[in-house]
């Protein structure tokens, strides 16, 4: 089964962000990216760099591998 990694990451980021009650602007500021870039990541239209993936995971309180897991 083929998985679209950008969509998987985006769904995990969106879900975790909402669970924490953060808006895109707040999470983007914590990670050091623009809200527009975060929006593209959450929509599965853009893959984050490895460093951004790590920063997102830290800000969301999960491991980078949790954001990559195809549930």
Kindly report, residue by residue over 33-62, the tens digit of the pLDDT: 999 999 999 999 999 999 999 999 999 999
Q: At residue 69, does pLDDT exceed 80?
A: yes
Percentage of residues in the chain having pLDDT higher than 90: 93
- Token pair for 67: 């954001």
What local confidence, expressed as pLDDT, does residue 1 receive?
46
Q: What is the CATH number of domain 5-65?
A: 1.10.260.40
pLDDT of 6 > 70? The answer is yes
pTM of the entire structure?
Answer: 0.93
pLDDT-based confidence at residue 9 (cuts at 50, 70, 90): very high
């Amino acid at each position: 089964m083929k998985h679209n990694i950008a969509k998987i990451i985006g769904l995990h980021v969106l879900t975790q962000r909402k669970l924490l009650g953060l808006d895109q602007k707040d999470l983007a500021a914590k990670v050091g990216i623009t809200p527009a870039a975060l929006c593209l990541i959450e929509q599965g239209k853009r893959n984050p760099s490895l460093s951004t993936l790590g920063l997102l995971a830290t800000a969301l309180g999960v491991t980078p591998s949790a954001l990559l897991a195809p549930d």
